[in-house]
Chains A and B, each alone.
Chain A
Amino acid sequence: MSRLQGPSSLKRKRPELNSPVQSLTEHERILYDVIRSKQDIGIWTRDMKKEAKLPDNVVNKSLKALQVKNLIKEVVNIQNKGRKHFMATGFEPSKEISGGAWYLEGSLDTEFIESLRQLCKRQIEKKGVATLEEVTDLINSYPAFNVDVTKQQIEEILRTLIWDNAIMEVKSNGMGEFASIPFGKVCYRYVSKGGLGGEPRAGALASIPCGVCPRISHCTPDGVISPKTCVYYQKWLDF
């Protein structure tokens, strides 16, 4: 389920503490109480077996029953994806378990992240310079998203654009392009001199085969790997 469509999953739901618990066997109740006590952290099957002090087969059977009755759900623990991890249905996985706002079902929601990145980049490119608040407000006014993003989340997105060298973090000096921004306030400026397709401009060494050669440390003037025998040079000069 993408955050671009459908209900929001960024906001934490309140645990349904008052929902009626259907009739449970004694073992099911013990297990359910153990799982529910872990709230939004949830519990690994092996740990719940130890805590409930129930044999494996009983636990497995009870887990199935609780799932059928929609009292518990299996969630992905981002710290240990291989383990079966359960939680009471009334709770949303905490950040430690889910990985945070950027994870969906145990994996990075790359589609959502990339959409936000491109949108932020376009907004800053249009304005030239923008503050974090301006970008956040612009994103939240965008109709395609059904979720509200926080300033902190947008700041994380903007940081990735800084690492991309698509924007840079600057402080307003109150003049010129910063005229509408208070002096000293942190803001973000579009970097207009990138290379083709968002790539950095190739430097002198990166423009020749030697600069990116995986065998440069084994290359010698008269060795088996040498500029005379180099296949990368051959390809580069074959135009």
Chain B
Amino acid sequence: MAQLHVPKNPTQPSSSVSHSLHSQKPKKQALTTAMVSQYGIKYAVHIITNHFGPLVAKVCDCLLKKGPLPLREIVRYTELSETLVRNCLLVLIQHNCLQPFLLEEEGGFGEVNKVSSLYMVLFDNVLHRVRFSKFMAIVSQEFNKLCVDLIETLLQHGRLSSEQIFDGFRDSTEGSSSGGMEALQENIHKLVMARYVERCPISEPFLALPSEEEAAPARRRGAKSAKVFLEPETLEQRVLAAAVPPEGMRFSFELNPEIGADREKAENSSTGDKRKLDALESGTDGGFVDKQVVLWRVNCEEFTRRLRHKICIEIVRTRLDDEAATVFTAMLNASRSEEKKIKTASSVPLSENSIYAEVIKSEKGRNMTLDYVISVLVGLSSSPPFVRVVDNSYSIDYKHIIEVAQTDEVESIVYKKYGKDAYRMFRLLSKTGRFLETDKISDSIFVEKKETANILSKMWQGDYLQMEKLVAGPTQFLLWKVNMINLRERVLDDMFHASLNLSLRVAYELEQQKEILHLGVDGPMKEKYEKLKKVRFLLESSRMKLDDAIMIFHDF
């Protein structure tokens, strides 16, 4: 295997004046879009290639790299025909990976503002495509098989009208009876009420020019209950916010007693989700179509929220114990209905009594006394505090739990890559939160100064540390710091890279061993078949576990 050596730029000694020099190490490649890193894009394009083919992937790649574009620009960059591009866009819209929108832009001097029709890839929804099995596992724990089948159907098709769902079901054994159709309706209703299924967003929301007030820097808004830090809204966030149907309509599914009898009555008439699809097909850009059909799709937001809960429970269980996880789960259940956003920093405050009432509903918590639950809550609010206590009310501190999980992940990489002493140095620096000089680190960790400098330098070369030089006369000091924000982004990009690699390796193994696959489990190559099965299981389960970590760094 070729060995490539990429030397770091040698640091330059300064003059005798005391000042600090930034390290002259070459920077990693900048993010190619505001939101998505280099390997985030490659991984997303890989997913789309596997699911929809290289042409759709090419369009996706173009939009991820260039940002939202109008049709003509997509045609220009991809060098595909307009028809092909339209078809690719249709596929991406159908599968909720693309959101068209209208953007108002300032006109030139003396000209009116213009409105452009743009297309934006929804990176998060592309990533969700590898999580469908996790979504179905969640539904299977709460609902019956029919619901699981419904979710599977919606995931496979992206978006369907009620009639399309009913038509597909009619052909099955369960659908042949009228009782079966009623059951189907009821189950769709259940899934919508549980927010696992939602109406599709508005086909082409309009984004007006922001007012001066909207363009001002973000303010921190402290609500009494859930504290939400308002970062400046990205274009994607604005588009998604504009596209989402009003809350009352988004999760509104009316049961129709005459299901299947009258097609017109079965359709609601509020939103025109199919408008954009028809416009694309007809070649008109943003044109109106008389037929307005409600389309339904899986609500990935709700599944992400459930996955966040699930992973938080496991973090608590791992860090503390099963009892803490039981009480924590009860707190989640008690506060779930108030939770509005996935990235809520903390839950609504809950009293001891309301938490206890929820705890004793569960099998594991049935025999717990109130005093015991309170003692567990005390444990949960000890360092590291997963729960905050204010005036005898308890709130889950999601932000902190996720940060703890992120830090654990990064520290475990440092340990495995650079060893125990490096792990200690890294933890010292990340807890200190500021620059420390080599000698200070050496004294704190009880490692010889020369060895300390070696280890720190290796971590810096691997982009785990920042380094600055301070020159005072003839003496030069090296200062080190952990920048956790930058490091999280870098680790996330490595996770995308690793996920891509795992997927490519699975494909490679299957390709290499396709003869064995063809012969099957009882064939002459039984042993090799079993080995291949284990290899595939290891790669794919690693990928799923890594996907949980990606969610911790990206989605939560």
Interface positions of A (Cβ within 8 A of B): 100, 102, 107-108, 110, 113, 156, 159-160, 162-165, 168-171, 173, 175-176, 189, 193, 199-208, 210-212, 214-219, 221, 224-231, 233, 237, 239
Contact = CB atoms under 8 A, between A and B. Distances in A.
Contact of B423 (A171, A200, A205, A221): A200
Contacts of A216: 494, 497-498
B416 interface: yes
Main SS class of interface, A? loop
A207 B420 CA distance: 16
B423 A160 contact: no
B383 A163 contact: no
Contacts of B369: none
Contacts of A224: 1-2
B504 A221 contact: yes
Contacts of B42: 221
Interface stretch (B188-196, B407-415, B516-524): B407-415
Given A163-B445, A164-B424, A201-B408, A173 B378 contact: yes
Given A159-B444, A237-B535, 17 more contacts: A160-B424, A160-B445, A175-B378, A176-B375, A202-B412, A203-B408, A204-B545, A205-B546, A206-B416, A207-B542, A208-B542, A211-B498, A214-B462, A216-B498, A224-B1, A228-B504, A228-B508
A189 B413 CA distance: 25
Interface string B487-498: 000010011011
Contacts of A228: 504-505, 508
Contacts of B534: 239
B548 A204 contact: yes
A234 B411 CA distance: 26
A206 B412 contact: yes
Given A165-B427, A219-B501, A205 B549 contact: yes
Contacts of A170: 382-383
Interface in B390-412: 408-412
A145 B6 CA distance: 50
A201 B412 contact: yes
A70 to B, nearest CB: 31
Interface of B: 1-2, 4, 6, 28, 42, 46, 318-320, 375, 378-379, 381-384, 408-413, 415-417, 420, 423-425, 427-428, 431, 443-448, 462, 491, 494-495, 497-498, 500-502, 504-505, 508-509, 534-535, 538-539, 542, 545-546, 548-549
B504 A227 contact: yes
B319 A160 contact: no
A211 B413 contact: yes
B476 to A, nearest CB: 15
Contacts of A215: 4
Given A168-B383, A193-B319, A227 B416 contact: no
A236 to B, nearest CB: 8
Contacts of B382: 170, 173, 189
B423 A208 contact: no
B9 to A, nearest CB: 15
A211 B444 contact: no
Given A215-B4, A224-B1, A200 B412 contact: yes
A205 B494 contact: yes
A216 B425 CA distance: 23
Contacts of A193: 318-320
Contacts of B508: 227-228
B428 A163 contact: yes
A206 B423 CA distance: 13
- Give the interface centre of B408, B415, B509 by most chain A CB atoms within 10 Å: B415
